[in-house]
Amino acid sequence: MNSEQAIRLSEAITYEQAVKIFYEMNMEEIFKIASILHNIFKGNVISYSRKIFIPITTLCKDNCLYCIYKKEPDKGGRYLELDEIIDITKRGLELGCTEALLMTGERPEIKYAEARNFLKNKNVSSTVEWLYNVSKI
């Protein structure tokens, strides 16, 4: 497939056509098309953002099939303490990070006594309030 064909393929493609391509083409062909389109529209440049990922908690009330983030309390799921968050942040700064991504699960206090107890000990009523307090620091 050449660039012109790849561009035509990408213009106004329907959901049904995308599904057909996915099931009828092998992955090597799909990756080749994606690479051609990427280079045409984005160039051959790789960029990144210097950010640090800080998991405020790995507890979550939901069970999303795609998630690799959540942990149950008996499997190590918990909230990070403030000193741990600060240590992670300092390490990120030492490595040149310029942005922090604060992550939480979805309202774990609804499902887990461990979450409710942690939040109560921090004098906050929700994970969102804990996240807000952490973000101010």
One domain for residues 57 and 119 = yes
Structural domains counted in the chain: 2
Sign (positive or negative) of CA dihedral 29, 31, 36, 37: positive
Closest CA to 54 of 90, 6, 9: 90
**Residue 33 and residue 59 in one domain:** no
Are residues 31 and 56 located together in one domain of the fold?
Answer: no
Same domain? 67 vs 131: yes
Domain span at residue 108? Answer: 51-136
- Quick one: 56 and 73 in the same domain? yes
- Residues 63, 129, single domain; the answer is yes
pLDDT at 73: 96
Distance CA 110, CA 39 (A): 46
* pLDDT value, residue 7: 62
- In a shared domain, residues 63 and 84: yes
Q: Are residues 9 and 73 in the same domain?
A: no
CB neighbourhood size of 119 (10 A): 19
Beta carbons of 132 and 123 less than 8 angstroms apart: no
Could you tell me if 88 and 29 lie in one domain?
Answer: no
pTM for the model stands at 0.66
What per-residue confidence (pLDDT) applies to 10?
A: 62
Same domain, 125 and 58: yes
What element of type H or E holds 54?
strand 51-55
The answer to whether residues 59 and 28 belong to one domain is no
pLDDT of residue 136: 92
Q: For position 133, what pLDDT does the model report?
A: 95
Q: Say how far apart CA 39 and CA 133 lie, in whole Å.
A: 43
Instruction: Identify whether residues 36 and 99 lie together within a single domain.
Output: no
Tokens of 11: 């213009």
Token duo for residue 88? 């992670």
Instruction: Output the tens digit of pLDDT for each of the chain's 137 residues.
Output: 665 666 666 666 778 877 877 788 888 888 887 888 788 778 877 777 899 999 999 999 999 988 888 999 999 999 999 999 999 999 999 999 999 999 999 999 999 999 999 999 999 999 999 999 999 98
